[in-house]
Structure 1
Amino acid sequence: MALNNFVKSIRNIMRNDAGINGDAQRIEQIAWMLFLKVYDEKENDWEFNEDNYKSFIPENCRWRNWAKDNGEGETITADALLDFVNNTLFPTLKGLEVNPSTPMRSAIVRTTFEDANQYMKDGVLLRQVINVIDQLDLGNYEESHAFGEIYESILKEMQSAGSAGEFYTPRALTDFMAEIIDPKVGEKMADFACGTGGFITSWLKALDKKVRTAEDKEEYENSVYGIEKKQFPYMLCVTNMLLHDIDSPRVMHDNSLTKDVLNYTDEDKFDVILMNPPYGGSEKNDIKQHFPSDLSSSETADLFMVLIMYRLAEKGRAAVILPDGFLFGADNAKLAIKEKLLREFNLHTIIRLPGSIFAPYTSIATNILFFNNEKAEGAEEGFSTKETWFYRLDMPEGYKHFSKTKPMRAEHCRPIIDWWTNRQEIVDAENNDEKSRCFTAQQLLDMDCNFDQCKFPKDEEEILPPAELLADYFKKRKALDHEIDKTLAEIQRILGIEISKD
């Protein structure tokens, strides 16, 4: 079948099934079937290249033995198919025994199906969907390559599938960050909230250009590490890795925040960290207890920043997407985290991103923080950061905002790349507009670690959803209260006034 009709065909079939309720369930239903199809194709390779290969999946549950339709009327369908999938396939795969000696490429089968769901209730329609998926010839290089775009479209559809959209970062952005970070053969890269694997695949894409030998190829395959808390994106990430020829993906189904950061050793650290941590969430006290008290925050993004700092190897490099609230936040934890960045890391660049990059699914404005775990040459005593450059990426000409039909594209990052290699301040003093500026670490510390520099000019008022509006209001009010308290304290000091706090 034509690849561009793949998603459309499956969508049309599933709309007639009473068990599928919305896009999220439809995509999750596709995900486990797609995983088994891709895994079966990989097993073809392993059987060809390895003597005495034995599948971890029992014979009756291998895709080739129950899903393929030979056209001779022998393939199970209707109620028999539903009974097999619900009462044999799922219980068997969920119950596969895994131990420390189980190879990673085998263990991912059990982990992928741990919390997977089978929603369809019509066995005839289920057979039709399976047939559509099975027609994909992933053994054919050209079709497999073309399917990468189809898979990408499936990931994009997650943005309109409820909360699943939080796992998708525009590919133009992940590719740009991976290129700027400049992967090197032999380095290890990590994403501790990897979602569907966007940053990992962008890293592999950039690293692949530098693979020259068989040894390089082996380093390439072992260069990535991911952790994903939620089952659905984890399943998609593992499939994504298999499609990118990572036969034993080191992707864990786990929560990165449930381990004490002080217990990480050098063996737990990585040369490069690329991430878009979840933000907007709030963590319970039992999670916060895994972090030093001065850095412990209830905000998810803050805790991920602390985790990154503790797991970035010496001389390691990081590029992390964070919301505006981190830049202007003035609560104790945020201030401590930002001061730690300046004193113990080289926070060399902050890129301000247009607020509509993740629109229409969220209008929260975001930024990319680039920092290294090393002391910058010429940094003042007490700091590892010498100077921090801010650069504002304005909307491209002809765009008022990005949208589902006009998403961010690779060429929209070109202004950053051009500026990156020839940095200079861009200030319009007449209009009080700063597009690019450089601050020393001491200047930022003197500004109470206010990283909210090179802001976007205010256009028409943006109407936010009530929850985002309130969250934004409280964050800005907290920052303003902090500035007022600081000013009043300074006035009291100058006047020698002591006011009782009772």
Structure 2
Amino acid sequence: MITGELKSQIDQIWNTFWTGGISNTITIVEQLTYLIFIKDLDETETRNERMAKRLNKDFSPIFGKDQQNFRWKNLKEMDVQARHEIFNNSVDGIFPFIRSLGSEKSLFSTYMKDASFGINKAATLDLVIEKLERVDMSKQDIKGDIYEYLLSKLEGGGTSGQFRTPRHIIKLMTEMMQPTLEDTICDPSVGTAGFLVAAKEYIDKHNSVTDLDKHKEHINKTMFNGTEFDATMLRIASMNLFLHGVEEPNIVDVDAVSKDNTVSDAYTLVLANPPFKGTIDKESIAPGLRNVTDTTKTELLFLALMLRQLKKGGRAAVIVPDGVLFGAGKAFKSIRSEIVKNHKLEAVISLPSGVFQPYSGVSTAIIIFTKTDNGGTDNVWFYDMQADGKSLDQKRNLLVDAELFNDFAFGDAFAKRKELIKDADASADEPKKEGDDKEDGYDFLPNKKEKQDTIHAKFNLPQILDHYRYLKSEYWGKMHSSKGELLHVQDVPENLGLDKFMSGTCTHDYADRTSQSFLVPLKEIKENDWDLSINRYKEIVYEEVEYDAPSEILERIKETNSVRNLLLEKLQKSL
């Protein structure tokens, strides 16, 4: 959620549309999205030009020689009327140019064919561009927050349980799943494509330019997939992915759980936050989905859809409402038993109820599973997230350092951890300089446990990611039993991974049900009718309160009464 100056800037732009005679919410969102897209196109072109010059290599420009007037840097300097004519020109103007981006038969060009200019007054366009130029959108998180804020104006943030997923939760799920260049990724409720964009950013960050170039065809045409039936979302998702280097994203105009969606065994990774409260007419539901869970509830049908669409060995990280985890109905139990018994459920991460504020206080969880078709669930990892780095009220104020909040996954910081320790050791005897007190990446180094614990009380995401990495690593099992109990092991720290994870991760007792992070065996889940709610398994420790003996309490009451009577006597005598 955006606040402060940024919110004020966007509100001013919104008011400019209103005073210019444009009051339809969808129209404002679309027109502003187009302008942000045009601005981003120019910024992308500028970055490519600089990189090509630095590397002394050619690149494919977005703008041709005859289209330089369409670049934001040139548009903002133009005469007001001349600029408006470029936008208004339906033959050789900027909107025909936008519609021509991507290949002729691509889905991007299909969804952009209806993109049209809707600002009739040149003065209104001039004011919007002037104010938009002042907005710092250099970071993708800011762009995402702006999109989220704009879309929140559409019927209060969502319909049928559709709420915009906070960017840091998207990032957590993406970092946990670690998408690769070989993956084919899908979000069946794609919205603005936040999950797919996060996956693309992760892939860009963790692969060389050479490897990215080798997989260019796959990245541009087949890697990123999604379904969405809202025309506005289709255009926004397509533009968002295009700006992140996906030229022809495969975003399909279809109701994901309907008969019209026939895709199966196609994807290796699903990242999603499907609608929570939607329903669909029984006759429209794809028959195969009802074989898994006989219901009209979209939150259950989407899980069945993911199992159908994943290839064997494919994995998924999905946000679900708490009701999915403990619902007593037959449909709820059948989808849970299907995932746990016939596939491999790996993790259930309970999210605080305020994560979706200010739009909703709904309680949710992230579930992570792998499609196997032959079981494989042994011990399920549960984590009780209590703090996500922001206040859990309507304001959602940041509680930790902004740099830490944005970079909690550290990207390759675990690889550079040794360098940080080495640098710290090398400079231990050097006199301190101004600014040396800044913690930065040291906050989660092994020798910073006190600082780490202080931050953890407000921000659990680094520990969640670290525990998950450890449970999936080659080091798991060296210090723990299969149930998660801590073993007494005699070995050097490096062999146990102590230098590769946060302080406390390798020595945590994952069998301790009173902690935030623990394992539950398949047998126990089955005995509890496939219940996956964390409260079913977490043990609450109540502090014993000792009271004085009744006789002592009565004696104190008598003493208090005696003092009171003496004070009353003195007061009466003074009258």
Tell whether the structures are fold-level matches, with TM greater than 0.5: yes
Change (3 A) 1:149 1:356: closer
**3-state DSSP class of the match of 1:241?**
helix
Q: Take 1:401 and 1:97, find their aligned partners in 2: how far apart are those partners?
A: 44
Q: Take 1:233 and 1:128, find their aligned partners in 2: how far apart are those partners?
A: 26
Q: What one-letter code is carried by the residue in structure 1 that aligns with 2:274?
A: P
Quote the offset at 1:235 in angstroms. Answer: 2.2
**1:13-47: per-residue Cα shift (whole Å, max 9, x none)?**
2241232245x54322201333345457778979x
Q: What one-letter code is carried by the residue in structure 2 that aligns with 1:244?
A: H
1:199 aligns with 2:191: no
Residue 385 of structure 1 corresponds to which residue in structure 2?
A: 377
Q: What one-letter code is carried by the residue in structure 2 that aligns with 1:370?
A: I
Q: What one-letter code is carried by the residue in structure 1 that aligns with 2:360?
A: T
CA root-mean-square deviation: 4.2
1:126 aligns with 2:125: yes
**3-state DSSP class of the match of 2:534?**
coil
User: Which of 367, 390, 397 pairs up with 1:406?
Assistant: 397
**3-state DSSP class of the match of 1:426?**
coil
User: Which of 355, 358, 376 pairs up with 1:357?
Assistant: 355
Q: How many residues are treated as equivalent by the alignment?
A: 421
Residue 483 of structure 1 corresponds to which residue in structure 2?
A: none
Residue 525 of structure 2 corresponds to which residue in structure 1?
A: 444
**3-state DSSP class of the match of 2:215?**
helix
Quote the offset at 1:103 in angstroms. Answer: 4.5
Q: Which moved more, 1:435-444 or 1:116-125?
A: 116-125
Q: What one-letter code is carried by the residue in structure 2 that aligns with 1:28?
A: E
Q: Take 1:81 and 1:317, find their aligned partners in 2: how far apart are those partners?
A: 47
1:34 aligns with 2:26: no
Q: What one-letter code is carried by the residue in structure 1 that aligns with 2:82?
A: T
**3-state DSSP class of the match of 1:291?**
helix
Q: Take 1:361 and 1:318, find their aligned partners in 2: how far apart are those partners?
A: 25
Quote the offset at 1:358 in angstroms. Answer: 0.2
**1:131-188: per-residue Cα shift (whole Å, max 9, x none)?**
655x599xxxxx8x71535422312313631344435211111111111112223222
Quote the offset at 1:280 in angstroms. Answer: 0.8
Quote the offset at 1:127 in angstroms. Answer: 3.8
Q: Take 2:466 and 2:101, find their aligned partners in 1: how far apart are those partners?
A: 50
Q: What one-letter code is carried by the residue in structure 1 that aligns with 2:13?
A: I
Residue 489 of structure 1 corresponds to which residue in structure 2?
A: none
Identity %: 21
**1:435-463: per-residue Cα shift (whole Å, max 9, x none)?**
444333333223222212336999xxxxx
Change (3 A) 1:9 1:149: farther
User: Which of 164, 168, 173 pairs up with 1:177?
Assistant: 173
Q: What one-letter code is carried by the residue in structure 2 that aligns with 1:386?
A: D
Residue 424 of structure 1 corresponds to which residue in structure 2?
A: 510
Structure with greater contact order relative to length (CA < 8 Å, sep ≥ 6): 1
Q: What one-letter code is carried by the residue in structure 1 that aligns with 2:331?
A: A
Matches within 5 A, 1:74-89: 75=82, 77=84, 84=88
Quote the offset at 1:355 in angstroms. Answer: 0.5
Q: Take 1:89 and 1:256, find their aligned partners in 2: how far apart are those partners?
A: 37
Matches within 5 A, 1:50-129: 63=70, 68=75, 71=78, 75=82, 77=84, 84=88, 102-104=104-106, 107-114=107-114, 120=119, 122-129=121-128
Residue 369 of structure 2 corresponds to which residue in structure 1?
A: 371
Q: Which structure has the larger Rg?
A: 2
Quote the offset at 1:122 in angstroms. Answer: 3.7
**3-state DSSP class of the match of 1:180?**
helix
Q: Take 2:464 and 2:80, find their aligned partners in 1: how far apart are those partners?
A: 58
Q: Take 1:102 and 1:401, find their aligned partners in 2: how far apart are those partners?
A: 46
Quote the offset at 1:370 in angstroms. Answer: 0.6
Q: What one-letter code is carried by the residue in structure 1 that aligns with 2:343?
A: F
Change (3 A) 1:169 1:457: farther
- Which residues of structure 2 form unaligned runs of 5+? 50-57, 400-404, 409-458, 471-504, 541-575
Q: Take 1:400 and 1:53, find their aligned partners in 2: how far apart are those partners?
A: 44
Change (3 A) 1:348 1:168: same
**1:102-137: per-residue Cα shift (whole Å, max 9, x none)?**
353xx52341353x576645442134324655x599
Change (3 A) 1:171 1:98: closer
Change (3 A) 1:323 1:406: same
Quote the offset at 1:76 in angstroms. Answer: 5.6
Quote the offset at 1:336 in angstroms. Answer: 1.5
- Which residues of structure 1 form unaligned runs of 5+? 138-142, 376-381, 429-433, 459-502
Change (3 A) 1:6 1:252: farther
Matches within 5 A, 1:119-158: 120=119, 122-130=121-129, 146=138, 148-158=140-150
Change (3 A) 1:156 1:426: farther
Residue 276 of structure 2 corresponds to which residue in structure 1?
A: 279
Q: What one-letter code is carried by the residue in structure 1 that aligns with 2:510?
A: Q
Quote the offset at 1:256 in angstroms. Answer: 1.9
CA contact (8 A) 1:94 1:113 kept: no
Q: Take 2:388 and 2:312, find their aligned partners in 1: how far apart are those partners?
A: 37
Residue 19 of structure 1 corresponds to which residue in structure 2?
A: 22
CA contact (8 A) 2:264 2:308 kept: no
CA contact (8 A) 1:355 1:363 kept: yes
Q: Take 2:237 and 2:99, find their aligned partners in 1: how far apart are those partners?
A: 20
Change (3 A) 1:43 1:425: same
Residue 387 of structure 2 corresponds to which residue in structure 1?
A: 395
Change (3 A) 1:34 1:51: closer
Residue 415 of structure 1 corresponds to which residue in structure 2?
A: 463
Q: TM-score, normalised by structure 2?
A: 0.62
**1:458-492: per-residue Cα shift (whole Å, max 9, x none)?**
9xxxxxxxxxxxxxxxxxxxxxxxxxxxxxxxxxx
Q: What one-letter code is carried by the residue in structure 2 that aligns with 1:368?
A: I
**1:63-114: per-residue Cα shift (whole Å, max 9, x none)?**
469x93654576064xx789x47x7799x86997999x8353xx52341353
Change (3 A) 1:110 1:330: same
1:247 aligns with 2:239: no
Quote the offset at 1:218 in angstroms. Answer: 4.3
CA contact (8 A) 1:42 1:247 kept: no
CA contact (8 A) 2:163 2:359 kept: no
CA contact (8 A) 1:185 1:210 kept: no
CA contact (8 A) 2:41 2:243 kept: no
**1:326-352: per-residue Cα shift (whole Å, max 9, x none)?**
011122222211111012210011011
